[in-house]
Amino acid sequence: MHAVNSNGANIPALGFGTFRMSGDEVLRILPQALKIGFRHVDTAQIYGNEAEVGEAMRMSGIPRPDVFLTTKVWVDNYRQDAFVASVEESLRKLGTDYVDLLLLHWPGSDVPMAERIGALNAVLKAGKVRHIGVSNFNMAQMEEAVRLSEAPIATNQVEYHPYLDQTKLLHAARRHGMSLTAYYAMANGRTPSDPLLAEIGARHGRTAAQVALRWLVQQQDVVALSKTATEARLKENFAIFDFALTREDMAAIRGLAKPDGRIVSPAGLAPEWDA
């Protein structure tokens, strides 16, 4: 697996996401994911499974420095004092003295951006995190975060799949040495059953889901998160680095994007999305 260099953060291009996974599911499947070869794990305070993620990482026997671990600060904790305390709590739950990447989970908050970015920089300086980033930011918010941050912003984790065109946001991230980390690659189950993706997959001896993941990681400066609770699908998701899509494949998949392709946009948390 290749890594994406994002302002000094070498992020494995394929991560294992734990959104909407119970603690029991994490304990069952994450050690298997690490055994297969995943070295990038993504969780968040609001997921409620940080403790199980940490336990599963220890169960795997993989040395802590070999795993790139991401968590996210929830919006209720953006005030400076609450922020630092919440990160310390995350570290206790995860059973580690640092995370590789810490993100602001959503932009929706009345806490000034300068305070949020300042808190990110504070925990970075304290050695509690190795790199900092944002999630679900539009272009203007991303630019503001970069401007306000003393340390470089590594990534913007956003919804990204063949039905949602994120080209403008990706180009904006690149200007600052950042990556995009793509979640919802399966688009709520739509990509695995897509006829075009299945057709392209058949030519490569792959599934439509593998094509969707490969399409993401084959783009420069894009990291993809995959998620599954089944071992068979786990192996399928990981097997995307021994084939390549053609230029024509990539363009055809990009052509699936639609203006109404966005799936995730919670009121009060999401920004005004870029057109």
DSSP line for 50-71: HHHHHHHHHHHT--GGGSEEEE
Nearest-CA neighbor of 34 among 65, 67, 4, 2?
A: 67
User: What angle (nearest 5°) sits at the alpha carbon of residue 204, between those of residues 185 and 34?
Assistant: 50
Q: Exposure of 7 by Cβ count < 10 A (0-12 exposed, 13-18 middle, 19+ buried)?
A: middle
Q: Structure tokens of 98? A: 């640092």
Q: Which of 47, 78, 160, 163 is catalytic?
A: 47
Annotated binding site for substrate: 105
* Residue 47 falls in the annotated catalytic set: yes
Q: Ramachandran region of residue 161, left (φ > 0), alpha (ψ -120 to 50) or beta?
A: beta
Active site residues: 47
